[in-house]
Amino acid sequence: ARMKRARVHKQPCTVKELEVSVSELGLGYVSDETVLFRYCSGTCDAAVRNYDFSLQSIRGKKKIKKEKVRARPCCRPLSYDDDISFLDSKNHYHTIKEVSAKDCGCV
């Protein structure tokens, strides 16, 4: 079981999908309509570059102190899915953009 869990953790950055209600998106819309929410998930170990090592090292030597820096690549959407339209509980239509990921990558 542990082996399996470890393997899951090592899964590289990819698109995953989940069926959620529009209300669950937390954007303030109230609707029972179900939409497909695609998100990016996974590790970016393979995408670590010399940049990341160098940044870590330099930060470690306290050369960078007050700034917020990220010394690891991050699994994020490279582009977003088509717009999502739905009818809300008051029978008004809404269209929302860039809610769901289309492609993911380590950036």
Partner 1 sequence: MHLMLYFPCSHLFLALTTLPLFGSTYLSWSSQTDCVHANEQCTADPSCSSRYRTLRQCLGGRDRDVLLSSQECKTAQEVVRDSALHLCRCRRGMKKELQCLQVYWGIRAGLADADEFYEASPYEPAALRLSDIFRLTSISSGAEGVSSKQNACLDAAKFCNVNDICKKLRSAYISTCTSGGADRICTRRKCHKALRTFIERVPLELSYPLLFCPCRDKPCAERRRQTAVPDCSFMRPEIPNCLEIWSGCRQDSVCRSRLADFVTSCQSSPQSASGCVQDNYPACLTAYAWLIGFDVALNFLNSDPHSLAVGPWCTCNGSGDEEAMCERYLKTFTENTCLRNAIYAYGNGTNIVPTQNVPKSPRTTISTRTERRLLPDNQSDSNTQYEGNSDICSSLQDMKNANLTDLTICVSEAQLNTDFTPELRTKDDQSGVSHLRASILYIILVIIYSAAVFP
Binding residues for partner 1, rule: CB under 8 A, are 19, 32-36, 82-87, 91, 93, 95
Report which of 45, 44, 53, 87 is spatially closest to residue 71, judged by C-alpha positions.
53
Nearer to partner 1, 57 or 85 (CB): 85
Question: Minimum distance from CB of 16 to partner 1 (Å)?
Answer: 14
Nearer to partner 1, 32 or 103 (CB): 32
Question: Minimum distance from CB of 7 to partner 1 (Å)?
Answer: 28
Q: Ramachandran region of residue 106, left (φ > 0), alpha (ψ -120 to 50) or beta?
A: beta
Question: Minimum distance from CB of 6 to partner 1 (Å)?
Answer: 31
Nearer to partner 1, 11 or 34 (CB): 34
Nearer to partner 1, 43 or 80 (CB): 80
Cβ-count burial of 76 within 10 angstroms (0-12 exposed, 13-18 middle, 19+ buried)? Answer: middle
Question: Minimum distance from CB of 93 to partner 1 (Å)?
Answer: 5
| All residues at 6 or more sequence positions from 35 whose CB lies less than 8 Å from its CB, including other chains | 19, 20, 21, 22, 25, 84, 86, 99, 100
